[in-house]
Structure 1
């Protein structure tokens, strides 16, 4: 496998671009391919079997584009399908999980909130993770409707503000001091979230940690791109690319409606 081959990332839609941005910032020399399966978003409302099937389909697409590693830039896909993907493919596969560990270890009030999809919060992997922190009160909240609004480009809508208020206010009232964003779409909501929660509550997402893990895996398998040729970034979507273009903030990228 050539180290010139691209990194492959997929998500149920545009949200995983929050992970892509962290990876691209840390590893700007790397070529990347990002797949936004927005037609099937949100994964959080689908069955585990459906999520596994879609994750395999997405992985196959990226492998056909010569991806040298796969980053599952989706919490729901990771918590429901990462074991199956790693069993099926020899290529390194990196997942993304809610950042429960740092929040639990740093919490002074011993109470943290987790905003995530139904698929993530109901997964076996998620329950395995939270069982390690029996001394911490963990308040779980399904983010009903948030992914759909983000996919529609309605990040700053009144409906979004109302939903966030209804989800976050009960957490604040229960004295959380850390809020874990358990969906790669949700970092795009941080400005609105900060308008609702007090300043002392810290927000944690997984983007930076995933980027560091990606670099570590590339180094481990000697897959870091060594040539200094200008890197390229390609994005694929199966819906209207307008929202994806907007959320990428007009990066010099290629977006194709291809699959």
Structure 2
């Protein structure tokens, strides 16, 4: 595997670009290919078997593009499929799961909230992680409809604000002091969320931690790209590219392609 081969990332849509941005900030010399499987979004409502099949399809697409490492930039795909992916392919995989640990370890009220998809909250991996913090009360909330609104570009709309209020207010009433965002789409909602929750509640997402882990694994495998004066980033979507382009500040290298 060559050091200048790209990092591959995939998600059930545009949300994983929040992870891509953190990776690009930490590793500016790395080439990347981002796959937005928006046609099949959201993964959170699909069965485990469907999620595994879609994750395999995305992985094989990225491997055909010679990606040296694959970032599963989707909580639902990680919690349901990463075990199968690691067993099937010899490329390194980086997963993303809700950052319960820092929230649980730092909570003063011993109560934290997690906003995530149904697929993540119902997964075996999530239950295993959350069960290890027996002294912490975890208030779970499925973010019904949030991914669809984000995929449609309806982030700063009254509908989104009302939906978030209905999910967050019960958590506030139960005295959470940390809110864990358990979907890579949700960091795009932070400005809206901050209008609803008190400032004393800290918001945690996984982006920075995933970027650091990606760097660590690349270094361990001697795959860090230390010299590159022609960095390339490609973003591919199987749906309307308009929202993906806008969230990436209208980058020219957004390609619509069926996969």
TM-score, normalising length from structure 1?
0.99
Q: Which runs of 5+ in 2 are unaligned?
A: none
Q: Distance in 1 between matches of 2:76 and 2:85?
A: 13
- Equivalent residue, structure 1, for 2:224: 224
Q: Which runs of 5+ in 1 are unaligned?
A: none
Deviations 1:26-73 (A, max 9, x none): 001000000000000000000000000000000000000000000000
Q: Distance in 1 between matches of 2:248 and 2:235?
A: 10
The SS at the match of 2:81 is: helix
Deviations 1:88-119 (A, max 9, x none): 00000000000000000000000000000000
TM-score, normalising length from structure 2?
0.99
- Equivalent residue, structure 2, for 1:43: 43
- Equivalent residue, structure 1, for 2:14: 14
- Equivalent residue, structure 2, for 1:177: 177
CA RMSD of aligned residues (A): 0.6
Q: What aligned pairs does 1:1-259 form with structure 2 within 5 A after superposition? A: 1-251=1-251, 253-259=252-258
Deviations 1:6-38 (A, max 9, x none): 000000000000000000000010000000000
The count of aligned residue pairs is 258
Q: Distance in 2 between matches of 1:249 and 1:195?
A: 24
Q: Distance in 1 between matches of 2:162 and 2:39?
A: 25
How much does 1:227 deviate?
2.2
Moved over 4 A (4+): none
Q: Distance in 2 between matches of 1:255 and 1:196?
A: 33
Given that residues 30 and 228 in structure 2 are in contact (C-alpha distance below 8 angstroms), is that contact kept between their aligned partners in structure 1?
A: no
